[in-house]
Each structure stands twice: as structure tokens, then as C-alpha cells.
Structure 1
Amino acid sequence: MKKLTVTFLIVIASITSLSAFAQTAPASGFTIENYYKVKWGHADEFIALWKKNHYPLLKKLLEHGDILSIKAETPIIHSSEDSRWDFKITLVFKNEHLAFDYSIVDPYKKQLFPDQEAYQKAEQYRFELLLAHWDVPVEAVVLP
């Protein structure tokens, strides 16, 4: 009975240790945050176009396993004009190579958007709404 109790306690301690490690270990994959600063008054329009024209491509990459997660955020209030951003997408790619292979969406463009002329025109307009766009590769910092 004592052996069973000791074994049980060791298993519980191991599970607890693994759980604590999982909370502090960096996530696998390669993470990039995409920031978009849009002309004043056009953020909702930009986000709607992004959801219509770019998000379906990212969902295909997610289904295929090239992207591990997609997260979208917008600030509740704006900061100063020089540091303002309107829309942020956090993408976790399977690896660094896929994160910088901009052609990985090409096979899905014609499949999802058969009218390529309309798609190109909508994408051109979406980028005309931008004042700035920057991508930031980030890594997790393990905290004690």
C-alpha cells in the first residue's frame, strides 16, 4: 500500500511539474506580429477588406498546417499618432522558413478568388487605406 501511495504522489508531482513547465515554456513555431496603421476613419473598412481578402488565405495555411495559430486584435483606445496602430495580427508559423515564404498563399488565391481582377483591385484599395504597416518577429521570454 505504501508503494502505491508513493507512486501516486510521484505521478502527481510529475504532472504538476509538467503543467508548470508548460505554462512558462515558449510556444513552438515562429511568431510574427503584423501591425497596420490605417487612414483616420477607415479602420473598420480596412479590417472588413482584410477579413474578406486575406483571412481566407491564412485559414487555408492554418488548415494545411503551415500556420499554427491566427490572432487578431485592435486597440480599445488610441495612443499618440506616431505610435498608433489600428489592427494587429499575430501569426504563429510552423517554422521560420514558412514565415518568410510569401508565395505559400499563391496556390489558394485562384481557388478562393476566381475573379482575380476583382481580387487585385480590392487588395490595391486595401493597401491604399494604409498609412503604415510593419511586421515584427517576436519570441517568448520565459519568466521565473
Structure 2
Amino acid sequence: MTVRRIVSFASVCAALAALPLFAASAQAPAGQTSGEQRTVWYFYTVKWGYQDEFLDLFQRNHYPVLKEQQKRGRITSIRTYVPTYHGDGRGDWTFAVALTYRDTAAMTGPSGDEEIVRQLYPDQATFRKEEQRRFDILVAHWDVPLNELNLETRKPSR
């Protein structure tokens, strides 16, 4: 066996031996009970130059659906954000929505969107066309469900 193979083999063995140590020190996500409110951040990256159009479409077509969900009790809070500076070094999102749901069941269960959309938008063809446009001018969209971490009650791991 060459020296290079011996060193490679030893390196692999050391890495494999260390895996249980890393796994033991990994943090589990903060627990969340199903009865607590749940917050989800929805991030959007809009094509450059289309931010105003996206906001107009969101405000006209999606925000009223969210407001109706809030009125029905599924959502308890709606907050929207844009970055303070467009050149802040984090160009990965241009619009964000923070929704707080009544509980886990409200967050993961049926939204009732289809019924709400039929009720709010009698001209379904226009609604669908504008919603398609809203997504056509997106570069990316992702959701981040959060688990709240209370540092007042958290027990340190060491």
C-alpha cells in the first residue's frame, strides 16, 4: 500500500469515527405544540424592474384572500415587508409576507382559497390571468414555517 492510500484510508476512518460525535451535538428543532399560533414567512424574488407590478397584483388579488382568511379566523396576523435597501447584499428576496396562523391545524389544513376566490372575484378569467402574471414575474418563491424559540424557558445544552 502506498503512503497516499494509507493517509486517505486513515482520513476516511477518522471522519467516519467522528460522525456520531457530530450527530450527538446536533440540535433538534424547537418543539411546537399544535395549539400554539404558528408563523410562516413567505419570500418572493421579483424580476428586476417588476416590483411595483408584482405589488399591485399581490395587493389586488392575493391580499384580499388573506384578509378573508383572517376574517374567518384561520390567520391572526398579516405583515408584509420589502428590504430597506435594494443593494443590502441580500438580493435573494424583494418582498416578504409573514402570516401568523391560529394553530398548526389552521396552517396545514385546507385554506378555503377556492371558495374565497370564487366569492371575491366573479370574473375568474381576469383573476386567473393576473395571478398567472404575478407568478410569471417571479424569479423565486419559498416558504419558511417557523418554530418559536423562547430563550427565557430554554434549557442550555451544556
Deviation, structure 1 residue 84: 2.0
- The AA in structure 2 aligned to 1:51 is Q
Distance 2:111 2:85 in 1: 35
Unaligned runs of 5+ in 1: 1-27
Match of 1:86 among 65, 89, 94: 94
Matches within 5 A, 1:91-110: 91-101=99-109, 103-110=111-118
Q: Please, which moves more after superposition, 101-110 or 124-133?
A: 101-110
1:104-127 Cα offsets, whole Å, 9 max, x none, are: 212111110000011000000000
- The AA in structure 1 aligned to 2:126 is A
1:64-118 Cα offsets, whole Å, 9 max, x none, are: 111010000000113446x521100000011223223354212111110000011
Distance 1:38 1:100 in 2: 26
Q: Please, which moves more after superposition, 115-124 or 88-97?
A: 88-97
Pair 1:141 & 2:146 matched = no
Unaligned runs of 5+ in 2: 1-35, 153-158
- Name the SS of the counterpart of 1:54 in structure 2: helix
Matches within 5 A, 1:1-144: 28-78=36-86, 79-80=88-89, 83-101=91-109, 103-144=111-152
TM-score normalised per structure 1: 0.75
Distance 1:102 1:34 in 2: 18
Higher helix share: 1
The percentage of aligned residue pairs carrying the same residue is 38
- The AA in structure 1 aligned to 2:119 is Q
Deviation, structure 1 residue 141: 2.1
**Corresponding residue of 2:24:** none
1:14-40 Cα offsets, whole Å, 9 max, x none, are: xxxxxxxxxxxxxx4111000000000
Distance 2:109 2:67 in 1: 16
The structure with the larger Rg is: 2
User: What's the RMSD between the two structures over aligned residues?
Assistant: 1.5
Distance 2:66 2:101 in 1: 10
- The AA in structure 1 aligned to 2:143 is D
